[in-house]
Structure 1
Amino acid sequence: MRVGIVGLGFRLGYLGHVFTAIDGDVDIVGYVDPAPAGLPGLEAKSISAGTRYETLAELIAAGPLDLLMIGSPNHLHLDHIREGLEAGLKVFCEKPVVISVDESYELARLMARFGEDRLMIGLVLRYSPLYRDLRAAQAEGAIGDVVSIEASEHIEPYHGAFFMRDWRRYERYSGSFMLEKCCHDLDLYNGVVGARPERVASFGGRKSFVPANDPAQRGVNDLELFHRKPSGWLGSDKVFDSDGDIIDYQVAIIEYANGVGMNFHTNLNVPDQFRRFCVMGSRGMAEGDFVRGFLHVHEGMGNRRIIDRTYANETALSQHYGADEQMAADIIAHVRHGRPLPVSTRDALEAGILALAMDEARTQRSVVDLRPVWDRFDEARMARAA
């Protein structure tokens, strides 16, 4: 399978390794990136990235490609997706797929034109064993009707500092922290609820990564922690005096079309990080944590624990709780044989629109009504090329 990459950053460099490890017939034949931060990682594993091209058009023209993989900064995704689809290629794009509601409408129109099976999105947590087990328990009736959800994604200070130093610190490139980092989680819970979010309120800001909290002000000289995770394009050494405009904590409440309520919390400065959820239903309750690696399901009558499972935080290949290698295997099978995937472009866009609504609610200090957005979104999805 011949693969081309546009945006060979750390993530696509890592996924290049995973894809070739899963299937020895995967061959990366070329890439486009003026400063490929992910290239040394591939070379260290004796994996060739093929020929370097100046533009995506040159990479496509050199073809043929069975799959175009997009790992460029988020604000470039839409143009790269469009170029790949118009060239007749199957396309894999890292999350988040686009960075605005208007871009979501535009991509919906592209899907109406080219078909959703041509575009695959890297919402990798859909492939994790924990999430698959959660959905299986839900399908078997262990939870009953979902009533409410409490969920969070919290990351350690070294990871939060990375966001303050990386290009992702600028919303004009990333979309926002909620979109860039938490679209994974919002997609998962949208899937559990089985309905679209309709009303959103949110609050947040930056209170940890500010000059007053710089450990250097307290005479701490060992600041390696905050520079442990390398940044690529537009990288900076500034952490507590970052010029970025992203938040470092945010809370949100969501009401779905079927009446389910959810609260969601993210924080970039949590020493003992966790990524957990509790799904409360009419017949039972499911509680889990991706970082701490467990899933507990309790039945409502008698409070008996009917599922008690543990999971590895990382595996030999996966940085995402066993999900990366499963995603690679499923994407390869989809490209070769058309095997269905557990997450669609529509799922990705709906999670992204929810994240963007959270940020609108936060900045406008208002409750955002998403129903008009879904009307326009569905109109775009039904569009056809002239």
Structure 2
Amino acid sequence: MKVAVVGLGFRLGYLGRILSEIDPDFEIVGYVDPAPAGLRALEERGISPGRSYSTPEALIAGERFDLLMIGSPNHLHLEHIRIGLEAGLTVFTEKPIVVSIEESYALALLLAKYGHDRLLVGLVLRYSPLYRDLRKAQAEGRLGEVVSIEASEHIEPYHGAFFMRDWRRYGRYAGGFMLEKCCHDLDLYNGVVGARPRFVASFGGRKSFVPENAPEASGANDLEVYHRKPSGWMGSDRVFDSDADIIDYQTAIVEYENGASMTFHTNLNVPDQFRRFCVIGSKGMAEGDFVRGYMNVHDARTNEKTVANTYMAPSEESQHYGADEQMAADVLAFINEGRPQPVSAIDALEAGILALAMDEARLGRKVVDLAPVWAKFDACLQGREASLAARSA
């Protein structure tokens, strides 16, 4: 498979490495990035990044390839996706797919025009063995009707400090922490519920990464702990006095259109991190943790443990609990065989809209009703917003 890359950051540098390990014919023909943070990871594995281009248009005109991969900062995704779709290409974009509700509408219109199947999205946790087993248990009827979910994504202080130093610290570029980091998780639970979120409330702020919590000279080594993960574009050395406008903790409550509910909690300063869930249904309960690598299912009537699985990443270097390897294989199978993917661009947009609603609720201290958003979103997916705009022009 031949790919072209727009935004050769750490993430696509890593995915390029994974793809090269499973496809002996994998080749990067060229890239666009003024400061390619992922270049070193490729070169260390002997992978050429191809020719450097100044614009996506020049890259598309100058090379022949099977897939355009987008790993640029989030606020640039919509424009780069548009360029790729208009050129007739198959496009893979990293999450989150766009950074606002209005951009969600705009991308829905593009999908209505160019088709949903030409846009793949890197919501990698959909490919994880644990999530696949959760959906298998659900399909087997072990849970019954999903009633409520308790879920979280908590990251260690070194990772939280990365968000305070990287370009992702600015909502205008990332879309907010809940969107940038937790859209994976929201997508998973949207899929488990099988319905769209309707009402959203949320609270949060920043209390850990603030000046009064900065380590003293005799305490933790700031360079070892809080600079372990390198930052890329617009990187900063500031952690506890960062100019970030993102949160470092947030809790949200969601009611879905079918009446199921969810609480979701995130925190960026958890020394023993976990990423867990408890899905409670009318017939059983599934409880698991992506970080700690387990999933148990219990029967509601007998209390019997009907599933007891443990999970381990395929290697110490593997990210996302082995899901990246499966995602790379599935993307390759889509390009070569047209095999359907377990997550769609529409799934990604729906998860993103939920994350954005959580921030709207938090900032406005209100309950957000998503019914009008879904009505307009569906109209855009059918191309109707475009026709209405054309008639009113």
TM-score by length of 1: 0.98
Partner of 2:145: 145
Q: Say what the alpha-carbon RMSD is for the aligned residues.
A: 1.1
The amino acid of 1:87's aligned partner reads A
The offset of 1:219, in angstroms, is 3.5
Partner Cα distance (1:124, 1:255) in 2: 25
How far apart are 1:313 and its partner, in Å? 4.2
1:235 aligned residue: 235
1:152, 1:265 within 8 Å by CA — same for their partners in 2? yes
Give the match's secondary structure for 2:263. Answer: strand
Judged with a 3 Å threshold, the aligned counterparts in structure 2 of structure 1 residues 308 and 349 are, in CA distance, closer, same or farther, namely: same
Between 328-337 and 90-99, the greater mean CA deviation after superposition: 328-337
Structure 1 residue 189 corresponds to structure 2 residue 189: yes
How far did 1:338 drift?
A: 1.0
Report the CA distance between 1:179 and its aligned residue: 0.1
Divergent runs of 4+, >4 A = none
Residue 222 of structure 1: aligned partner: 221
Name the counterpart of 1:345. 345
CA distance, structure 2, for counterparts of residue 337 and residue 306 of structure 1: 36
| Partner Cα distance (2:218, 2:251) in 1 | 32
Q: Is the 8 A contact 2:77 2:97 kept in 1?
A: yes
Q: How far off is 1:65 after superposition?
A: 1.7
Deviations 1:197-250 (A, max 9, x none): 00000000000000000012x732621100000000000000000001000000
CA–CA separation in structure 1 for the residues paired with 2:137 and 2:126: 15
Distance 1:117 1:30 in 2: 24
Equivalent-residue separation in structure 1 for 2:253 and 2:314 (angstroms):
30
- 8 Å contact 2:30–2:63 — kept in the other structure? no
- Mapping of residues 366-381 of structure 1, within 5 Å: 366-381=366-381
Contiguous gaps of at least 5 residues in structure 1: none
Distance in 2, matches of 1:220 and 1:272, equals 19
CA distance in structure 2 between the aligned counterparts of 1:122 and 1:318, rounded to whole angstroms: 16
Which residue identity lines up with residue 184 of structure 1 in the other structure? H
Q: What are the residue-to-residue correspondences of 1:249-264 with 2, within 5 Å?
A: 249-264=249-264
AA aligned to 1:142 is R
CA–CA distance in structure 2, aligned partners of residues 337 and 365 of structure 1: 48
1:9–1:71 CA contact under 8 A, matched in 2? yes
Counterpart secondary structure, 2:34 = coil
Q: Paired residues, what number? A: 385
Task: Determine the C-alpha separation between the residues in 2 that align with 1:220 and 1:18.
Answer: 38
Given that 2:109 and 2:381 are in contact with CA atoms closer than 8 Å, whether structure 1 keeps it comes out as yes
CA contact (8 A) 1:277 1:287 kept: yes
Q: How far apart, in 2, do the equivalents of 1:333 and 1:88 lie? A: 20
Shifted more, 309-318 versus 333-342: the winner is 309-318
Give 1:317 shift: 6.0
* Runs (5+) with no aligned partner, structure 2: 388-393
1:302: Cα distance to partner?
Answer: 1.6
- Code of the residue aligned with 2:131 in structure 1: it is Y
Deviation at 1:314, TM superposition (A): 5.5
Q: Deviations over 1:321-365 (max 9, x none)?
A: 110010001011111221100000100000000000000000000
Amino acid across the alignment from 1:257 = E
